[in-house]
Chains A and B, each alone.
Chain A
Amino acid sequence: MGKPEFIGKKSKAAGGWGALKSCGKKLLASGSPLSGAVTMLKANQPDGFDCPGCAWGDPEHGSSFEFCENGVKAVAWESTDKRVKPDFFKKHTVSELRTWTDYDLEREGRLTHPLRYDAATDRYVEAGWDEAFGEIAGVLNSLDSPDRAEFYTSGRASNEAAYIYQLFVRLYGTNNFPDCSNMCHEASGVALEQAVGIGKGTVLLEDFEKADAIFVIGQNPGTNHPRMLGDLRRAALRGARIAVFNPVREKGLERFADPQDKLEMITGGSTPIASEYFQVRVGGDMAAVRGMAKAVFAADDAALAAGRPSVLDRKFLAQHTDGFEAYRAAVDATTWEQIEDQSGLSRAQIEELAQIYIGANRAICTWAMGVTQHRHSVATIREIANFLFLRGNIGRPGTGLCPVRGHSNVQGDRTVGINEKPPAAFLDALENEFGVPMPRRHGHNVLAAIGAMLDGSSQAFIALGGNFARATPDSPLIAKALMNQKLTVNIATKLNHSHLLPGKVSYILPCLGRTEIDRNADGAAQIVTVEDSMSMVHGSGGINKPASPELRSEVAIIAGIAEATVGSKVVDWKSLAHHYDRIRDLIARTIPGFEDYNQRVRRPRGFRLPNGAAERIWNTPTQKANFASPALPEQTEHQQAVAQKGTFVLQTFRSHDQYNTTVYGLDDRYRGVYGERRVVFVNPADLEEIGAEAGDRVDIIGRYEDGIERVAESFRVVPYELPRGSVAGYYPELNVLVPLSSAGELSDTPTSKSVLVSFRLSEQAQAA
């Protein structure tokens, strides 16, 4: 062995940080021997830790959870010391637990044992894994068609779990894959596939370092993707213009104190994020973007008339796009009156925004649920793409489309086959690999699955994570649908409300969380992989001892159900569960872009999946980037609301102490709400029309006309900075008001951001 090189002066160990860091680098230096006896190093593999929170990209993969507030909450929530052991259910019946909030249920801690529902006592009781797999398989195989079972996926599932899940389900014989993306970014996938040939964003994190203008549309990153604020902050600090469109005045988007900036944290300072903040009306984003396009066209006309260069990227438009003239005609046919009324912005404001766009050589548009959960979401996203095409703002550094996904692997799950309408090429590849036919019939998305469960045509529901009953619209209908099932299975880390709506046979199967070390029977630690919003695929290994020795990984649980249900003749499930590299090898052989998966995912930051649109390769029928030319919606829900006295348009959103349906706490500090969740935010000027004062308790009544009475009872009125006619509150509490039958055109996404409602004082308030 060579004597270790001494670097620097003799240091005091406790204080010589610089020297110690050099020690650290030595320890992690790849491959070089330290002592000759031990090879460096197990730990240099980039099997870091992927935060189980959001899907924002991670420049220094491995430790982000230390810095992001929501990541910390997610990790702490999962790694709690509290446990829900079988004894817990001796104290509480399922009926009683149904009266608890999800916050209280999850706060009880981690599930430790497989559980089976006992209808006679209305309690869950401990079960064995083999017993569970056998009975689940028995029910599934008793159904007269595989299409009578629904297989739900939460965006938490890793690529490996999702891939073998889809493989099992397709071998079982159906494409019924309702998944959580059906309720969030489905509209983005549909619109982008049409526009640019890939249903994903085109940007990398590095693009945020180069953009001159960033348009943040219908999104609240301060609460939902806090790490994105760091990138926006850095962009703002170097002078990029950040224009925000949001009906709600979100504090986190206005100023941001970076937790990594010690001086800022100590002094209480913060950095302005949005250079322009526009409170667009709910559902008015398409009009706002079209207005900007109209102003850009006007500026272009003026430039050409004055003999100046075009403000459009004429070369890009000619070489790379289809439908430009029709789009120009559609924009010309859209009046400023329509644009102003629908967007709530003035022509002058919109022209100001257009100038920001024209002044930027590189522009990015980002968006999230504020855009995707309307009837016209697909059209709005197409409009955003149109807008970027005008100046060639796609497929070059510092530009692009950026739908910001929610759960950490929601994008990856779709990539590896969780898709009720699988591409033929993918099914062909599976058939080629496994030598058996795959089902070709399109399956059910979330809304279709609920419909089938309600009308009795589906009789089994298996959930790979999530809280289906709370995430979905029309909560009482979902409860009925689940309890109608012959079989319900929930693979979960913690107890939630969906588990308390058991079918005739019902199991809760406790799984490892992402924070936990996943060892196979040989004691080897396994990694899983995930894909972030930027199409980057990276590995993640656990950091903690599992909450219970009884827990199994999601992969192992799916393998167990699969082996019991479809047997191991075609797929050796045990072998796949024993070593996830084998699953990754299958993915590499059946899905383009995953070549050398096991090698590349172990490199720092992993690898990026192919993204044609990011390289100006358009995998569309026209082989071009496609403009869309629809008219604006005849009337948005906001316009309908203001036309009817006493009617408002409700949007549901998260609190700051919440991630999807998981509620970590009862505070919403950016919005100044503490210790409660049953609140409704209203414009102070609307209080008189509502007939309430600040602090009053009101019932919120759904106005969707399908004969179903929808009431959310006893919500406290909180005056807030919203456009008049708009109100807002938290899901899942307000999902009772979201109609199942109101969905996005072409996307089937629930219209959770545009629900017509009215108010009445609650009985409690009336009595007072």
Chain B
Amino acid sequence: MNDDARDDITEEDFLKAVSALSSEEPAFSPLAAAILAALHFGIAKDSRTFSRKFDIAHALVLREVSALADDLALLVVTARNQKNQRTEFAPAEKALQLFARALK
């Protein structure tokens, strides 16, 4: 994963990554896979940015982030803004391994 957003990612690349992550972990919802893909490509490292960039209700994103962090241990929540619930996250080791397998 890059720290900065890559400027050569197309929509097609992104959807392929979502598809690959979903294939690797069938339990994922497409939204969960998209959150991971967006994190991997440096597109969004927090729930609110993802919500805005992808025009998906923040509540739905938060719910998926919670599942990815608490249930699947793929994300580590690093900060939460109490006012707007913006939740910042980073990939856990398990996610890095997943990225290595699915997005090589």
A20 touches B54 (CB 8 A): yes
Q: A35-B23, A80-B82 are in contact. Are A13 and B5 (CB under 8 A)?
A: yes
Min Cβ gap B80→A in Å is 8
Bitwise, A25-46 to B at CB < 8 A (1) or not (0) is 1111000001101101111000
CA distance A199 to B71 in the complex (A): 44
Q: Does B73 contact A (CB under 8 A)?
A: no
Number of A-B contacts (CB under 8 A): 151
Near B by CB (< 8 A), chain A positions 333-353 give none
Q: Which residues of A contact B84 (CB under 8 A)?
A: 66, 72
Per the bound structure, the CA–CA distance linking A41 and B63 in Å amounts to: 14
Q: Which residues of B contact A75 (CB under 8 A)?
A: 85
For window 26-69 of chain B, which residues contact chain A by CB distance below 8 Å? 26, 28-31, 33-34, 41-43, 48, 51-60, 62-64, 66-67, 69
Task: State whether the Cβ of A79 lies closer than 8 Å to any Cβ in chain B.
Answer: yes
A13 and B6 form a contact (CB under 8 A):
yes
Minimum CB–CB distance for A465 against chain B, Å: 22
**B55 pairs with A10, CB closer than 8 A:** no
Among the listed B6, B51, B63, B85, which residue makes an inter-chain contact with A79, where contact means beta carbons less than 8 Å apart?
B85
Among B56, B59, B83, contact of A24 (Cβ-Cβ < 8 Å) = B56
Partner of B11, one of A7, A49, A76: A7
* Contact (Cβ within 8 A) B43 A20: yes
B18 within 8 A of A: yes
**Which of B10, B19, B57, B71 gathers most chain A CB within 10 Å?**
B57
Q: Are B22 and A23 in contact (CB under 8 A)?
A: no
Q: Which residues on A sit within 8 Å (CB–CB) of B80? A: 79, 81
The complex places the Cα of A19 from the Cα of B38 at a distance, in Å, of: 13
Q: Does A14 contact B (CB under 8 A)?
A: yes
Residues on A with beta carbons closer than 8 Å to the beta carbon of B83:
72, 76
**Which of B11, B12, B31, B56 has most chain A Cβ within 10 Å?**
B11
B residues within 8 A CB of A80? 82
Say yes or no: A38 contacts B82, CB within 8 Å. Answer: no
Nearest Cβ in chain A — how far from B27, in angstroms?
9
- Return 26 A-B CB contacts under 8 Å, by A number: A4-B11, A4-B16, A8-B11, A12-B5, A12-B7, A13-B6, A13-B42, A13-B43, A14-B43, A16-B11, A20-B11, A20-B14, A23-B14, A27-B54, A27-B56, A35-B19, A37-B22, A38-B22, A38-B33, A43-B63, A48-B57, A48-B60, A81-B80, A543-B63, A543-B66, A544-B62
Q: Which residues of B contact A (CB under 8 A)?
A: 4-7, 9-12, 14-16, 18-19, 22-23, 26, 28-31, 33-34, 41-43, 48, 51-60, 62-64, 66-67, 69-71, 80, 82-85
Interface residues of A (CB under 8 A from B): 1, 4, 6-8, 10-17, 19-28, 34-35, 37-38, 40-43, 48-49, 60, 62-63, 65-66, 72, 75-76, 79-81, 517, 523, 525, 541-545
